[in-house]
Amino acid sequence: MTTNEQGPEPKSRASSTPPSATDEYIAGRDRFRRAWSRQLFLDCGCSVPCRCEYRDKPTAARVDAYGSAVEYLDEQGLPAAPLMPEARQLWRRGGSDRAVADRVVRRWTA
């Protein structure tokens, strides 16, 4: 029997990359690491662009998704958590969206 038939070859050194890593993979990984090290982080902990404002200024798609989630949870008999920026946007839209926002906020504040 040869050494290969007995089992895998013993590892003689520790490696940070898998043995099947190609040169292209290693180059891509290194480019990512260099770009990450150059990235600017703000005092709030966000990278540029700052994500803090996204919490306070929801997109229309996020408001629509929140309204749909609230209605789905209502059908299941579960209360939805009040996400205030989204609820405010629903309130401003008026109509049935205002009723959804009103239900959510009243459940948690009453």
Summarize pLDDT for 60-79 with one digit per residue, the tens.
Answer: 999 999 999 999 999 999 99
Unique residue bearing structure tokens 């990278």: 47
Question: Between these two residues, 27 and 41, which has the higher pLDDT value?
Answer: 27
Whether residue 105 contacts residue 87, with contact meaning beta carbons closer than 8 Å, is answered with yes
93 pLDDT band, cuts 50/70/90, is very high
| pTM of the predicted model as reported, rounded to 2 decimal places | 0.55
SS3 104: helix
Q: What is the mean pLDDT of the chain?
A: 82
Percent of the chain whose predicted confidence (pLDDT) is above 70: 81
15 pLDDT band, cuts 50/70/90, is low
Question: Between these two residues, 100 and 21, which has the higher pLDDT value?
Answer: 100
Whether residue 58 contacts residue 72, with contact meaning beta carbons closer than 8 Å, is answered with no
**Residue 90: Cβ within 10 Å count:** 26
